[in-house]
Each structure stands twice: as C-alpha cells, then as structure tokens.
Amino acid sequence: MKITAAVLERGGIASGFAEAKALTIREVDLDPPGPGEVLIRLAAAGVCHSDLSVINGTRPRPLPMVLGHEASGHVEEVGAGVDDLAPGDHVVCIFAPGCGRCTPCAEGRPALCEKAAQHHGVGELITGSRRLSMDGRPVNHHVGISAFASHAVVARQSLVKADDDIPPHISTLFSCAMLTGAGAVFNTAHIKAGAKVAVVGIGGVGMAAILGAAAAGAGQIVAIDPFESKLEVALRMGATHAIKADAETVAKVRDITGGGVDYAFELAGSVRALETAYDVTRRGGTTVTAGLPHPDARMPLNALRLVAEERSLKGSFIGSCVPQRDLPRMFALYRRGLMPVEKMLTHRLPLADINVAMDRLDDGSAIRQVVDLG
C-alpha cells in the first residue's frame, strides 16, 4: 500500500530544520504485515529528542529512515500468528520490545532485549524484516516503529493494547515520555514516600519524571533547567521548587534540601546535566541517568567519592519498564488524576509541520508536541 511518511534522507543537520527541510513528506510503499506483525493506522505521534538526535547525528542510524517512535493508533490488519489483537483495537507503540527468550528478557528486563537491539540497530523490525520502501529502495524503520506516517507495520511485541477511553493524543505520551521518565522513578530508583528528588532537564521525559515523583509521594521535587518557561510548567506539574541551571545550581539545591537530594534524575542527554545531577545528590543517595548523549560523550568521575559517600549511579533505559505491566498501571494513575500528562502537551500539529516541531524542540520552546495523524 501507499502511505504518507516523513523521511530522513540525510543526517548531520545541526539546526534550522524547517529551512533545511530535514524531513521530507514522501509517498512510501508499505508491505503487508508478515508473521508476528501488525498493520496499524497511526493516530498520533509525539516529537521526542530521540528523533531529533537521529537528524543531528547524535544518535547515528542507517538512512533513509522514517522517524517517529512515540505513538498510538488502531489495528487495521494482523499477520499470521497474531491472535490477541483485532482490527479496531487501540494500541500504544513500544520502541523497546522484548523477544522473550534472551537473557535480559528472561530476567524481566525487555528494554534490554538483545534481539531487538540487533535488529533495530540496522533499521529492521525485531522480526528481522523491513516493510518500507521508496523508489524501489529499502527504507529503514526507526526502532521498530517509524511513526511519522499515516500507517506502520510493527512487530506484535512493539504494541500494548490500550482502552478506548484514553484519547490517542494522550495515550501517545505514555509510549515513550511517561514510560521513560516516570518509569525511572518507579522502577529504576524505587523512590520512597517523602524522599527529596531533583530532575535535571525538563523536557517531556523530565516532566514525566516530575509527575512520577509526585505520584510516588516525594516530599520535595526540585526542577532544574536553563529555560524559565519550562520551570514554570514544572511547578504546575508538581515540582515544589524550580531552579534555573547556572553556576550556582548545586549550591542552591543543597541549601534548599539540606545537603542534597536522595534521588537525582538526569533527563537531558548531556554530560554537563549528569554532572549536575550527581553533584546535587546527597551522600548515600542515588543518581539515575536516562538521557541519551552522543556515543562519544564521557563523564569524569571521582572514584573515591563514589565509595566514601556510598553513592549509586544507575542507568535507566525506557524507565526499566515492562510495558505490558507498567502501562496499565500508569493509565490507572492518569484516570485518577494523579498523572495529568495533558499539562506537558504544548503543541498539536499536522505532519506537514514536522520540521517546525523539530525547531521548537531544538530551541527549547516546546515541551511535548504531538503530530495528529488521523
């Protein structure tokens, strides 16, 4: 079938994405779903820094590629062997599916699935297939989803069924932002009620971490970001304090919290932000990083301090989540008003404006944007 999609054909575009027409809206061929795969009609797709990182070269991926990974939609057709989904089902896309057989999957850590990493790294679905092509040439899938399009074929493992009472532009935000940010709070850090928390980097994922910390009963939640407009939103989302990132940040946080926070979360994908998160963590505290910096980025670490202060430094990929378990729990919190994710949504736009959305993401004028697809 013929679909409309936003295609990245050249990478390394540092800025000015609308002017450069970084993503081009093209007619793309989409093959039917094979065994274990599902054809979905996309309803909404979030615009995430992980998409921007492919465009600017921070996260190199094989090109050409249809970007987009945070999404929701409705099933149109199922491939052989898929018997638990049917046409019309509302589904949320998961960019880190599990095969169920490798060691991480057996340990209950599907986000670290070895098979998914292997296939997604070369632009395939976890099934080993490519279903996209253009002008007779293969087109790569973005982490098994490729959501900036009218339709997508994805592996069954890349979908979680959602109830129809949650609008697609809301369920989309749970696909990546909430799983990553709130998941880091719930699953990676296991924060305790009354804990002191800092969140460094207040984009969509950072806002999700603030929502998660508030829902988990954190006593203090300190939001840290260079953009004052984002700090204002953070206070409305549940942060108790907001501090602009500058040379005095660490001293201010330590003063507010009486020596540092119990848990600090770095969600900006920057070494400088991670250093700030580490420095605002108290003795005996835990620093969690869920941002995705350039593969060559390195952080200097005082090893003595790590030991003498009994520090913990942990990585968190897609919030250490088990999506089939965690999404229903998060949806329940949303229904109770404990996770008002709609407050992080700053823009809704058509697919034609996808490069404008990338510019907003790059200059910090947006928190979470959603592309309305149908």
Which residues, in sequence order, are bridge partners of residue 149?
Answer: 5
pLDDT band at 205 (very low <50, low <70, confident <90, very high): very high
Asked if 362 contacts 15 with a C-beta cutoff of 8 angstroms, the reply is yes
* pLDDT above 90 for 263: yes
The SS3 assignment for 225 reads: strand
Distance between CA atoms of residues 242 and 297, nearest Å:
27
Over range 163-183, report the average pLDDT: 97
Over range 218-234, report the average pLDDT: 96
Over range 353-373, report the average pLDDT: 96
Asked if 136 contacts 66 with a C-beta cutoff of 8 angstroms, the reply is no
Q: For 304-330, what is each residue's pLDDT tens digit? A: 999 999 999 999 999 999 999 999 999
Nearest by Cα to 145 from 137, 133, 154: 154
Mean pLDDT, rounded, of the chain: 96
DSSP notation for 233-261 = HHHHHT-SEEEE-STTHHHHHHHHHTS-E
The structure tokens listed for 252 are 């201010």
Which 8-state DSSP code applies to residue 185?
I
Q: For 73-130, what is each residue's pLDDT tens digit? A: 999 999 999 999 999 999 999 999 999 999 999 999 999 999 999 999 999 999 999 9
Q: For 179-202, what is each residue's pLDDT tens digit? A: 999 999 999 999 999 999 999 999
Over range 252-266, report the average pLDDT: 98
Over range 293-298, report the average pLDDT: 89
The structure tokens listed for 201 are 């980097």
Distance between CA atoms of residues 212 and 218, nearest Å:
9
Distance between CA atoms of residues 207 and 120, nearest Å:
27
Which segment of 54-58, 160-164, 293-297 scores lowest on mean pLDDT?
A: 293-297
Diameter of the chain measured on Cα atoms? 62
* pLDDT above 90 for 295: no
Asked if 287 contacts 277 with a C-beta cutoff of 8 angstroms, the reply is yes
The structure tokens listed for 208 are 């999700």
More confident residue, 302 or 43: 43
Note the pTM of the prediction, 2 decimals.
0.95
